[in-house]
Structure 1
Amino acid sequence: MYHPYFRGKQFELITIRETAVLMAGADFVPIIEPVKEALGGLERTLKAICDAGGRAIVIVNPYHGDHQEDGIGITNLLQTDYIGNDAISAGILLRADMTLAAAIDAYEAHKDHNPTFVHAGFTWQKGLADYLGVDLAASRNVFIEEHANTLYRKHYDGSTRILVRDGFKRRKNSEYGKIPFEEFSELHLTYADMNMAGFGDFLIVGDSYSETGGPAYAVAIHLTFIDPEKDDVMFVYHFVSTTNDTPTDPAGKFAQALKKLIDKLDSGTSKLLETEAIQEFRDLHAKGHFPGLGYVKKLSMMHHIETLANYLS
């Protein structure tokens, strides 16, 4: 059903581990694109998923990060620990620079790893569908909506199809201060109408990738909510620090953003689900503690997963 797309940085992997039981119970299937050379965190994450009885898709040819030139380490990990384990699928990322021959080679090399195609700019869609032939119906195809329009997706009719939409609009943190909240997505309501077996998104991070976050002139807390008064469409709040003119004092800026969040929660009009992540935000406010920006992002991602799990249960 729901397929959250993660880039495998530290706090993304921690988010998956800490929500593994919840995601397994909700039949959520995370897509993980490993971006760090060391694979220990990925190994622990996949173990947590399998221990919880869940499933995951692991990109074996990442476009971003340390494995973009050679994903052999990821393939070896799957070959060593997950051969024949249908819970872990090898994700084959089909980008614009990938030839049909390379896509076929990757598919044949990972046939024993329960492969999933992730379409993200590929231009040989008809050729690949023709190559799969009678195997097309048994294939799984994840489409990044921006790169795979309706006509593109039509070539894979009859297969298991998942549509991933980037609902998060990327801006400088300070600019979110002018936009208290905005629409995130209605895909959780409409994916079946497009003959999709499931849907996904890039959580509150978005599809853009950077190795480091850079200095925080402003601190923003992004939290999603489903609005029953607007046909259950999902929106996202942006709680932004008041101070945004220098890259100093991230702890003070977090406190400013957090106070705005708590004030909204206490108003009784937020429509935010009181998730475990929200409770932790409340605890941080009560203690006056700043856990670091990566941890804050982790809580926002956890809240997003908890919100969708609650809605779809």
Structure 2
Amino acid sequence: MRYFPYFRGRQYDLRALQAFAQTPFNNITPIIEPVRDIPALPQTLTDFIQADQPIALVLNPRVGHYHFDAPAKHPIQSVLATGAVTPAFILSPLLPPEQLEAHPTAIVIVQHFDDLALFLARDWLPETLTLLVPPEARIRRQLRDRPFGHLVDHFVPGEYATDTAQLMDSFFSDDRSFAATFGEIGFSDFLTVGQPYSEHGFPTKAVTLHLTYLKDGRVRIRHFQSDDHADFRHQREKFFQALTKAVMWINQAPTINQTPATDQLLTLANEHHFPGMGIIKALTLTHHLTMMNRYLNY
């Protein structure tokens, strides 16, 4: 069973991956859809290669402003030339079948049933591909003899991040059991960020820290939200309101739900330091990766 966390290549996504690459883990292959030409992208790929850990890169990104055919300030071609980065593709009618023939062990992200049906009908999908598909019965029926896993977005934030105030603790996923039930080779999600992509992000009235944890063999998620959410001001103060709640939970959590990332949150609380929301998002993502590594071996 393998976990394929799906990242957009924003700065905080790559920061989380760089931190995770320095820790021991098994059966996890992160997928990066590049969205910006930034130095952290080639560095992240290099970090995983040097750690002898798998990493995949989407070669036909659909969001953001990364173009493989355009001159890059921070090129990655030399990294890709090592052959250590697994190619990935988003399936669409615009994807040349020759690309899949040239990369028969690639990961293919299927978003729509009709796209999959087209490529299967034309015999454009080598059987050695790993397919990540929506968890639909009609799709599973088409893939009985192929290696596939499911991709689903478990994270649905409320408007302006205030709707979670009434739901501090909720079920997140039990993908391992779901995948095993249907004979899948693994599963993928959009972590604790969600599938919708925004180039520059947007301000929120509330600051919320989302921390996943394990209970009874399943993944749950805690939402620690600031008390103030009347307007978009005072992000620093709101962060400490949310962090105070998170610290209370972390200090009482069993060891299996404590990670190097939660240790860093405790340090930030002790030092009363606000490093910026990008750093905080990276910490919560690194925490999620660590929890999913434990979930696979729970």
Instruction: Identify the residue that residue 107 of structure 1 maps to in structure 2.
Output: 100
Matches of 2:289 and 2:184, distance apart in 1:
20
Instruction: Identify the residue that residue 79 of structure 2 maps to in structure 1.
Output: 81
Aligned partners of 2:219 and 2:295 also within 8 Å: no
Instruction: Identify the residue that residue 265 of structure 1 maps to in structure 2.
Output: 250
Higher RCO, 1 vs 2 (CA within 8 Å, ≥6 residues apart): 2
Instruction: Identify the residue that residue 239 of structure 1 maps to in structure 2.
Output: 224
Residue by residue, what CA displacement relative to the aligned partner does 1:164-205 show, whole Å, maximum 9, x if unpaired? 221111212111111111111111232121111011211100
Matches of 1:4 and 1:79, distance apart in 2:
23
Instruction: Identify the residue that residue 255 of structure 1 maps to in structure 2.
Output: 240
Once the 2 structures are TM-superposed, how far is the Cα of residue 264 of structure 1 from its aligned partner?
2.3
Matches of 1:83 and 1:253, distance apart in 2:
45
Once the 2 structures are TM-superposed, how far is the Cα of residue 284 of structure 1 from its aligned partner?
0.6
Instruction: Identify the residue that residue 163 of structure 1 maps to in structure 2.
Output: 150
Structure 2 residue runs without a partner (length 5+): none
Once the 2 structures are TM-superposed, how far is the Cα of residue 305 of structure 1 from its aligned partner?
0.9
Q: Share of identical aligned residues, percent? A: 25
User: Residue 235 of structure 1 aligns to a residue in which SS?
Assistant: strand
User: Residue 246 of structure 1 aligns to a residue in which SS?
Assistant: coil
Instruction: Identify the residue that residue 141 of structure 1 maps to in structure 2.
Output: 131
Question: Residues 4 and 73 (structure 1 numbering): CA distance in 2 closer, same or farther, change over 3 Å?
Answer: farther
Aligned residues: 294
Residue by residue, what CA displacement relative to the aligned partner does 1:234-276 show, whole Å, maximum 9, x if unpaired? 111110000111211111000000011112233x367871110
Letter in 2 for 1:191: A
Aligned partners of 1:227 and 1:234 also within 8 Å: yes
Question: Residues 167 and 272 (structure 1 numbering): CA distance in 2 closer, same or farther, change over 3 Å?
Answer: farther
Matches of 1:270 and 1:206, distance apart in 2:
27
| Correspondence 1:11-50 to 2 at 5 A | 11-22=12-23, 25-36=25-36, 38-50=37-49
User: TM-score, normalised to structure 1's length?
Assistant: 0.86
User: Residue 244 of structure 2 aligns to a residue in which SS?
Assistant: helix
Structure 1 residue runs without a partner (length 5+): none
Once the 2 structures are TM-superposed, how far is the Cα of residue 296 of structure 1 from its aligned partner?
0.9
Aligned partners of 1:217 and 1:246 also within 8 Å: yes
User: Residue 154 of structure 2 aligns to a residue in which SS?
Assistant: coil
Q: Provide runs of 4+ in structure 1 moved above 3 Å.
A: 73-81, 130-133, 269-272
Instruction: Identify the residue that residue 72 of structure 1 maps to in structure 2.
Output: 69
Does 2:149 match 1:174? no
User: TM-score, normalised to structure 2's length?
Assistant: 0.90
Residue by residue, what CA displacement relative to the aligned partner does 1:122-173 show, whole Å, maximum 9, x if unpaired? 523233224447x73312111144xxx2212332332221212211112121
Q: For 1:92, which of 67, 89, 93 is the aligned residue?
A: 89
Q: For 2:112, which of 105, 115, 121 is the aligned residue?
A: 121
Aligned partners of 2:57 and 2:86 also within 8 Å: yes
Q: Name the one with the larger helix percent.
A: 1
Once the 2 structures are TM-superposed, how far is the Cα of residue 74 of structure 1 from its aligned partner?
9.9
Q: For 1:292, which of 276, 294, 298 is the aligned residue?
A: 276
Question: Residues 122 and 89 (structure 1 numbering): CA distance in 2 closer, same or farther, change over 3 Å?
Answer: farther
Residue by residue, what CA displacement relative to the aligned partner does 1:90-115 show, whole Å, maximum 9, x if unpaired? 21102xxx32x63414324xx15842
Does 2:261 match 1:277? yes
Question: Residues 18 and 60 (structure 1 numbering): CA distance in 2 closer, same or farther, change over 3 Å?
Answer: same
Matches of 1:52 and 1:277, distance apart in 2:
19
Matches of 1:184 and 1:74, distance apart in 2:
40
Once the 2 structures are TM-superposed, how far is the Cα of residue 283 of structure 1 from its aligned partner?
0.6
User: Residue 196 of structure 1 aligns to a residue in which SS?
Assistant: coil
Once the 2 structures are TM-superposed, how far is the Cα of residue 71 of structure 1 from its aligned partner?
3.7
Instruction: Identify the residue that residue 201 of structure 1 maps to in structure 2.
Output: 189
Letter in 1 for 2:287: H
